[in-house]
Structure 1
Amino acid sequence: MTTNKLAVLMLLVASSVPAVCQGLSKQDTGGTLPILWSEPSDIRSRNLSYGAGGSEDKPQPPLKFVKEDMQGTNPKFTAEDRNGVKWTVKMGVEAQPETAAAHLLWAVGYFTDENYLLKESDVSDLPVHLKRGQKFVTGGQLHDVRLKRHAKKIGEWRWRKNPFSNQRAFNGLRVMMALINNWDLKDTNNAIERDDHGSKYLVSDLGASFGTTGFGWSWMGSKGDLKSYRQSKFISKATPGYVDFGTPSRPAILYFFNLPGLLRRLRMRWIGRHIPREDAKWIGSLLAQLSPDQIRDAFRSAGFSPTEVEGFTAVVQQRISDLNKL
């Protein structure tokens, strides 16, 4: 091969790299294949009581406190179970909706962390006073906490620039965020995790789900609240080519006193808008393969009451039906 031809070939190879790796934030994929979604051939038999980790990976209490985690808005700490497996323990209002959301996303082929809800668990070596979340601890015992298995996080990815923009699976993920009313779509809530199959792209924080379509005057009703979820608007506009969804919605007026926060929230609105109609129907066809009992299992696994389980399931089923009627 001549020097000129070799130079041209090298230039073509180099120019193709950004098409795969554009928009990645703080990560080194190490040359592994980026993956957002894996086609599920077994949707009808997937066990939404456990999600991605299955029954075999569920945490084994009692837990041992390791260290407090000060990141994010909800109180968290790292713990080990009796098998030495490390988990991030999240307390508070996000624990239940995040568990249900992760199991639903996994059911239709999206990568999620292994999330489990523990109704109660003893924890040894807890400090006398946690910096956050002390009110959720009673006599060394936790109640209704979400445990997320530690994974090898190698970075974060951006909604606006990523290897999957305009692909059907990416648009399906945007629809899923609207279906579960996950309005807190910051890039910092996304993760890239590496395993033997490649670099998996996932939404790693799903706690702001199953409530309002956006942050309002307060946290009340914004997460894991059946009344708010039931009353919220799912599809806001449909044209022959595209669909707009209600989530994420415009932030409450209080954000006008916080200009940086207002701008951040307004920049997220596109995620639920102008989604190709055929892609919305596609993810709806996958969701339609779930039985009512499978959907109930997702909410049961998150520790919701029987009334809440039935209520959330009914809304999800109606939204699936709406997608399939597009």
Structure 2
Amino acid sequence: MLSLVSAGQAQKKSKSAAKVVPPGRAVMWESVDQSSLDLFEGPGGSAMRPDLSSVKLIKEEKKGHNKKYRISDGSGNIWIAKLGREAQPETAAVRLLYGLGYKTEVNYLVPTLTIPGKGTFKNVRLEARPDNVKRVGEWKWASNPFVGTNELQGLKMMMVFMSNWDVLDLQNEILHTGGENQYIVSDLGSTFGRLGNNNLPVIYRFGRKVGSPKHYTRTKFVKEVERGQVRLAYKGKNRKMFKGFTIAEARWLLNRLSPLSDQQIRDAFRAANYSPADIETYTQTVRRKIDELERAVGSNLAVR
């Protein structure tokens, strides 16, 4: 079963790209057989893995704070190569969301990659740019076809779950493919580390970490349950988005997180080329956060 919204609801302009969303079903999440999903290969599977027999530089990408290059592989497929500390956590974050049924980018982590004329780099994230996918532009957290739905609320909660401190509209993207308009979070690089030290304006930026297992393992997910609201431990941008979630919304997310096996969680971080020790740290922390959510809302997983 797909989570769908009519094409009419999806007809809007992207402020950043000034493009009209093409006709199509708006999709953010779909019900999937989670046990069958390969979180090592991720949403692209083994079939979309880059052919690194040869690499050609097309151009440097100027968008964002991290160094990026547009390249082509040996089969002529186009990729955006992202360098730096965000590459590993983003690879894992995509796989974790994919494991829950959310639509995502297709990416792979390459341990070592030589880009002609630029150098040899470690832990490079390659994000696919297939010909059959049109990148329409950003969508807004506060105004989209999924406002008021469990899947949008679940996606918000996952931003806290993964300690994403850079939750902004400009990190979102609508992908038009196969008659669908897929609403995804495109930039997930600021995850699996630590949020800021407090909720004070500007000062909340201090202490933030990206892709740091030792910091992620110290983070909390659920702050408290009060008056039927699950309050999350969030310190970052757009804090108003995360002020409270209903028990039903939190249970919906729990029903998606709980079926993930420890091996699937390990595979998500293994795909990001973390060390065996870091993989175990991340796996245990993810499981502990799932347990936090279960204690907060109860364990009646039959309620969907």
TM-score (norm 2): 0.86
Note the 1:166-315 alignment, pairs <5 A.
Answer: 166-214=148-196, 216-217=205-206, 222-247=209-234, 249-250=235-236, 265=237, 268-315=238-285
Note the 1:42-53 alignment, pairs <5 A.
Answer: 42-53=33-44
Aligned residues: 278
The CA RMSD over aligned residues, in Å, is 1.9
The answer as to whether partners of 1:117 and 1:144 remain within 8 angstroms in 2 is yes
1:110 equivalent in alignment to 2:99? no
Report how far residue 270 of structure 1 moved: 2.0
The amino acid of 2:114's aligned partner reads D
CA 1:167–1:21 in 2, change beyond 3 Å: closer, same or farther?
farther
> Which runs of 5 or more residues in structure 1 are unaligned?
1-15, 128-139, 251-264
Q: Distance in 2 between matches of 1:223 and 1:44?
A: 29
Report how far residue 216 of structure 1 moved: 3.2
* 2:200 equivalent in structure 1: none
Summarize deviations over 1:223-259 as a string: whole Å, max 9, x none: 1001211112211221252212123x15xxxxxxxxx
The answer as to whether partners of 1:117 and 1:303 remain within 8 angstroms in 2 is yes
Q: Distance in 1 between matches of 2:29 and 2:7?
A: 21
CA 1:27–1:109 in 2, change beyond 3 Å: closer, same or farther?
farther
The amino acid of 2:27's aligned partner reads I
Q: Distance in 1 between matches of 2:71 and 2:126?
A: 9
The answer as to whether partners of 1:172 and 1:279 remain within 8 angstroms in 2 is yes
The answer as to whether partners of 1:27 and 1:156 remain within 8 angstroms in 2 is no
* Structure 1 counterpart of 2:127, from 145, 148, 152: 148
* 1:133 equivalent in structure 2: none
The answer as to whether partners of 2:12 and 2:21 remain within 8 angstroms in 1 is no
Question: What percent of counterpart residues are identical?
Answer: 35
Summarize deviations over 1:65-123 as a string: whole Å, max 9, x none: 11001111111110000000000000000000000000000111111100100001233
CA 1:34–1:19 in 2, change beyond 3 Å: closer, same or farther?
closer
Give secondary structure in 1 for the equivalent of 2:205.
coil
CA 1:235–1:183 in 2, change beyond 3 Å: closer, same or farther?
same
CA 1:278–1:90 in 2, change beyond 3 Å: closer, same or farther?
same
Q: Distance in 2 between matches of 1:21 and 1:271?
A: 24
The answer as to whether partners of 1:236 and 1:246 remain within 8 angstroms in 2 is yes
Summarize deviations over 1:152-191 as a string: whole Å, max 9, x none: 2111100111111110111111111111111101110000
The amino acid of 2:40's aligned partner reads S
Give secondary structure in 2 for the equivalent of 1:57.
coil
Q: Distance in 2 between matches of 1:217 and 1:185?
A: 16
* 2:26 equivalent in structure 1: 34
Report how far residue 274 of structure 1 moved: 1.2
TM-score (norm 1): 0.81
Note the 1:95-134 alignment, pairs <5 A.
Answer: 95-124=87-116, 126-127=117-118
The answer as to whether partners of 2:43 and 2:98 remain within 8 angstroms in 1 is yes
CA 1:38–1:27 in 2, change beyond 3 Å: closer, same or farther?
farther
The amino acid of 1:232's aligned partner reads T
Give secondary structure in 2 for the equivalent of 1:55.
coil
Q: Distance in 1 between matches of 2:195 and 2:148?
A: 23
Q: Distance in 2 between matches of 1:277 and 1:22?
A: 31
The amino acid of 1:217's aligned partner reads F
Q: Distance in 2 between matches of 1:191 and 1:20?
A: 13
The answer as to whether partners of 2:13 and 2:21 remain within 8 angstroms in 1 is no
